[in-house]
Structure formats: C-alpha cells, structure tokens
C-alpha cells in the first residue's frame, strides 16, 4: 500500500488513494498508521478514490482513533493538493460525508468552498447560542455546523488561549450532552473586525495546531453575531487562514504541501 503524508498549517494527514477501491482499512490498521510511535504518525487518514463523474473524487476522513470526521478543511486542501500534484488541473470536486466541496487553485493557495453554515440541525443544540457552566465558570458558546458540529467558545482575553486551558476544558466541551455526536471545539478571541485568534480541540483527535473547518466555524459564528467583517484572517498556532463570505457560502484560502511518500505492507 502506498501512502503520502501531507501537512496544512501543522495539521498532518496520510493520503491513501485507492483507484480500484481494493483496500480494506480496519480501525486497528488506521489507529496504527496514525500512531506517532508505532506507525507513520498523523492527525488522521484521508481515503479517496475517483467517482464516475470526471473531476469528482470521494473522500472518507478518519481520525487517529478510527472514528469518522464528516468534513475537514485542512483535509480537503490536502487531498486537493494531492490530486493537483498527481493529475494536474486547477479545479476538483470532492464528495464528503456531508456533501460536495469545490476546491480550486487560487494563485499559490487552494480555495475551499464550504457552502452555507448551518445554525440548527440534528448535530446541534437549540438554541445555538447559549451559556454553558463548567466548574463554576460560565462560557458563552455558539454552535454551528460546517457539515460537522462545532462549538465556538468565546473568550474575553487572548491570554486564555493557552495550551493547558484548551487541554483542560476542550474534552469537557467535546462531550457535552447537548451535542449528540460530540463536537469540535474552538476557543476564539476577536482581536479586531478582520482578525480572530483561535485554539482548536478536535473531536476524536485532541488539541491540534490548526483546523480548516474550525476556522470556518469561528468565522461563521463571529459574522452572525456582527463581530467581524466579511473578510477575516483566522490565526491559529499552526498558521493563518483567510476567510471570505461569498453570497451565503464561506470560502477559505490556505496552503497544503507534500511531506513524504511512504510504503507500508
């Protein structure tokens, strides 16, 4: 089996491209491949194959614990970059568990069209904006779906965006009963109308340096509450993503690059 390791803002994925859909990846195998000590090490595995429609590919996203992620912005950019590296072209349609996403080259970056954010649905609590109390602390949160569930936790001080703070409260928000399928968590600070800082706790992964769908969720939640402009930079420990509102859709611009080509048996 041939695998490729790519990274996007410090978020690393293994790409498994299977044109004939011949591989059978078990949860045990996925966990071992993603393990940094016993495998190749990554934040997840992207399994992909071509669909009958020209220029359209299927994507299944596996977390390191072998659970499924419906969507990943960094994962979409990584797969798009892999497909551009492999087949050329500048536009590709990627089918995920939560719908199709159009990815295209835009200069030296890749633009992902996330579509319209949703503030209600089976994966989200109602109301979508509410106060949550943990350990005697009250947090204002906004729930939003970018095809996968997100809980944006607003902080009043950028000093709260520390690793130990995120690692302490992240798991508690991830497993809140109001999210029936658990949730991704973003601790966000609005620095200015065009700049937001965020730290990420990903469902099934833990603290990560960046997350594309999380950056989209933060932007969507902030814009809905009139906290930012329609063009914003979301800054995370792994780097920044440029966000833009186009009609009702959220566009995201960022990089992805190949790290290694790997063989495993």
pLDDT of 264 above 80: no
pLDDT digits (tens, 9 = 90+) for 57-89: 999 999 999 999 999 999 999 999 999 999 999
pTM for this model (two decimals):
0.93
What homologous superfamily does CATH list for 129-247?
A: Diaminopimelate Epimerase; Chain A, domain 1 (3.10.310.10)
Residue pair 209/196 in contact by the 8 Å Cβ criterion: no
Task: Give pLDDT tens digits for 5-45.
Answer: 999 999 999 999 999 998 888 999 999 999 999 999 999 99
Q: Which of 212, 132, 234 is nearest to 179 (CA)?
A: 132
Q: In which band, very low, low, confident or very high, does the pLDDT at 108 lie, cut at 50, 70 and 90?
A: confident
Q: The tokens of 243 are what?
A: 């966000």
Which superfamily does CATH assign the domain made up of 2-108+254-263 to? Diaminopimelate Epimerase; Chain A, domain 1 (3.10.310.10)
Distance separating alpha carbons of residues 47 and 88, to the nearest angstrom: 19
The span from the first CA to the last CA of the chain, in angstroms, equals 6
State mean pLDDT over 229-248. 97
Cα separation, 1 vs 23, in Å, equals 8
In the chain, CATH 3.10.310.10 sits at 2-108+254-263, 129-247
Looking at the predicted structure, is the pLDDT value of residue 2 above 80? Answer: yes
Instruction: For 118-176, write each residue's pLDDT tens digit.
Output: 999 999 999 999 999 999 999 999 999 999 999 999 999 888 899 999 999 999 999 99
């Amino acid at each position: 089996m041939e695998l490729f390791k790519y990274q996007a803002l410090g978020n690393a994925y293994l790409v498994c491209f299977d044109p004939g859909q011949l591989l059978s990846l078990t949860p045990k195998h996925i966990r071992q491949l993603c393990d940094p000590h016993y495998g190749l090490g990554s934040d997840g595995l992207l399994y992909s194959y071509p669909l009958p429609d020209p220029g359209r590919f299927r994507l299944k996203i596996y977390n390191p614990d072998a659970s499924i992620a419906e969507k990943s912005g960094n994962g979409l950019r990584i797969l798009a970059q892999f497909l551009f590296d492999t087949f050329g072209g500048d536009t590709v349609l990627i089918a995920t568990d939560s719908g199709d996403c159009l990815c295209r080259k835009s200069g030296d970056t890749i633009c992902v069209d996330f579509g319209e954010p949703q503030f209600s649905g089976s994966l989200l609590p109602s109301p979508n904006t509410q106060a949550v109390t943990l350990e005697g602390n009250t947090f204002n949160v906004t729930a939003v779906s970018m095809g996968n569930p997100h809980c944006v936790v607003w902080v009043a001080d950028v000093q709260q965006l520390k690793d130990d703070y995120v690692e302490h409260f992240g798991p508690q928000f991830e497993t809140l009963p109001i999210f029936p399928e658990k949730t991704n968590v973003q601790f966000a600070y609005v620095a200015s109308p065009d700049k937001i800082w965020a730290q990420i706790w990903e469902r099934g992964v833990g603290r990560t340096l960046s997350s594309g769908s999380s950056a989209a969720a933060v932007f969507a939640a902030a814009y809905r509450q009139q906290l930012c402009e329609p063009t914003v930079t979301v800054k995370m420990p792994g780097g920044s993503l440029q966000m833009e509102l186009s009609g009702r859709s959220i566009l995201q611009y960022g990089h992805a690059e190949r790290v290694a080509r790997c063989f495993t048996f």
